[in-house]
Amino acid sequence: MPRSLDLSARRVEATTAVYNVSIVPVTESYEVRRVKLEELLSSTNNLPNITTAEIESFTVSLSKTLIKGKCYDEYTYCREFSALCLDPTYGDVMARHCTLTCKRCDEIEAEEEYENCFDITPDCSSHADLCGNAKYKQFMTDSCAKTCSLCKPVCKDRHKNCLRFAEDGFCNDEMYTNDERQHLCGNTCGFC
């Protein structure tokens, strides 16, 4: 509430000053109370000492966390409804659409589309143990990409608000990795 403070001094005795203090809010009025200088000084002496330190560096990110790894919320307002994550009626719906907010990324299987990803050799699954072997790395990469999980996901926008995110600086926000930005808004952010 805005207030105006009027302090006017009158000399009453040689050692005591009396101040007329009036605090007048915009909507109401208050009585004027006479306050002696000693009372005014004693009340300010009771205030705690306030010290300030100079801040060397301070960074604030106003953007919400949109994606973590490959887990994201489909809707920007998920955080506002986070209490519903544990609700018996809405919990499953929240987990499906607000996976990141509800911390249920490991429970929801994301169906991924891959670009030209397949195994050339029919017996790749029986040789899956060779995927990490340096001696067979090139052969397994060329012949058993699907079995060795070497497929690249289709580059596309997975979120319906990518244009707005881009306007808000998501595509250049170093809070997210290139992989996260590509996964969520690959087309809009120019990764495709």
**Structure confidence at residue 11 (pLDDT):** 41
Q: pLDDT tens, 11-26? A: 433 344 444 444 444 4
Q: pLDDT tens, 114-123? A: 767 889 988 9
DSSP states along 113-132: -BSS--BSSTTGGGGGGGTT
pLDDT over 70 (residue 141): yes
Q: Are 127 and 119 in contact (CB under 8 A)?
A: no
> Is-above-0.85 flag for pTM?
no
Confidence of residue 1 (pLDDT cuts 50, 70, 90): very low
Closest CA to 40 of 18, 15, 11: 18
Residue 119: Cβ within 10 Å count: 15
What is the distance, to the nearest Å, from the Cα of residue 11 to the centroid of all Cα atoms in its chain?
59
Mean pLDDT taken over the chain? 74
Mean pLDDT of the region 83-90: 92
